[in-house]
Amino acid sequence: MAVVFKRTNGLKDIPTHYCPGCTHGIIHRLVGEVLEELDVLGKTIGVAPVGCSVLAYDYFNCDMHEAAHGRAPAVATGIKRVDPDNIVFTYQGDGDLASIGAAEIIHAAHRGEKITTIFVNNAIYGMTGGQMAPTTLIGQKATTAPYGRDKEHSGMPLKVSEMLATISGAVFVERVAVNTPANIRKAKKAIKKAFEVQMEGKGFGIVEILSTCPTNWGLAPTEALKWLEENMIPYYPLGNFRTPEEAK
């Protein structure tokens, strides 16, 4: 019988710790598949963040380096500068990247650091128990925004892709979502393109992936996917913000 689906060699054969319905598992698989298809697992070093995906270093089937909260792009800079032929990626959530690590991501992009960032945006702090993130939507409830995020009090949700697309060193910026099979396929295509841009030595690439947090949003997994579509995508439009051709 023909094999139509199998585990990617890009991930280790061990169960993950993610909550039921969380889309980290899908995103891990997409990254693993891309690294395997590009045949770069043997020369890839991933940098895991702090937050829900802190244990990502246990899951990817390549060398991994754990970083402090927000510092993954700086750690990745050190790794990439030691051996520019290696493929280096960071895997970061929105608390990690858009809040405490805002300086590191902006300046890694600004230097045109030849790394790839997988940015998982679920509009909330997951690991610490559902606090407000810079990406939390207006009106969205979080444990530290119990009445819903208020613009006057906390500002508007940060649009990371739009912001990074203004930086000349960021040569590939795309926002995708993993809420439907069609969008998952588009997400994989974007991830692959981001790694190819790195392999071609063109500059910094980031894929922002809209993701769900059923546990902290207080929704069933299928309702969470619907909430993403109805609430996140209108504010965080999907699409490409920057290609190497535009960056020239």
Partner 1 sequence: MAKILMKGNEAIAAAAIKGGCKFFFGYPITPQNELPEYMARELHKAGGCFVQAESEVAAINMVYGAAGSGARVMTSSSSPGIALKQEGISYIAGAELPCVIVNISRGGPGLGGIQPAQSDYFQNTRGGGNGDYRLIVYAPATLQEAVDLTMEAFDVADYYRNPVVISGDGMIGQMMEPIEFKELPKREIPPKDWATTGTKGKRKPNIINSLALDPAELEKHNIRLKEKYDLIEKNEVRYEMYNIENAELVIVSYGTTSRIVKNAIAALKQEGINVGLIRPITLWPFPMKAFDEIPKTVKALLSVEMSMGQMIDDVKIANKGRYPVHFYGRSGGMIPTPDGIAQKVKEILGGVK
Contact residues: partner 1, CB under 8 A: 12, 41-45, 47, 54-55, 57-58, 60-68, 71, 74-83, 86, 103-104, 106-107, 110-111
Q: Is the CB of 65 or the CB of 226 nearer to partner 1?
A: 65
CB 100 within 8 A of CB 134: no
- Quick one: 66 or 229, whose CB is closer to partner 1? 66
Minimum Å distance from CB 44 to partner 1?
A: 7
> What minimum distance in Å lies between the beta carbon of 177 and partner 1?
29
**How many whole angstroms separate alpha carbon 182 and alpha carbon 117?**
22
N residues, the chain: 248
Question: Please, what is the minimum distance in Å from the beta carbon of residue 68 to partner 1?
Answer: 5
Which helix (H) or strand (E) covers residue 242, if one does? strand 239-242
CB 133 → partner 1: shortest distance, Å?
20
Q: Which is nearer to partner 1, 164 or 228 (CB)?
A: 164
Q: Which residues contact 108 (CB under 8 A, 6 or more apart)?
A: 73, 74, 76, 77, 115, 117, 204
Nearer to partner 1, 48 or 137 (CB): 48
Q: Residue 77 or residue 161: which is nearer to partner 1 going by CB?
A: 77
142 backbone dihedrals φ, ψ, rounded to 5°: -145, 165
Whether the CB-CB separation of 92 and 74 falls below 8 Å is answered with: no
Distance CA 145, CA 218 (A): 15
Nearest to partner 1 of 101, 157 (CB atom): 101
DSSP letter, residue 237: -
- What's the closest the beta carbon of residue 196 comes to partner 1, in angstroms? 18
State the Cα–Cα distance between residues 102 and 211, nearest whole angstrom.
Answer: 19
Cβ at position 81, least distance to partner 1 in Å: 5
DSSP single-letter state for residue 229: I
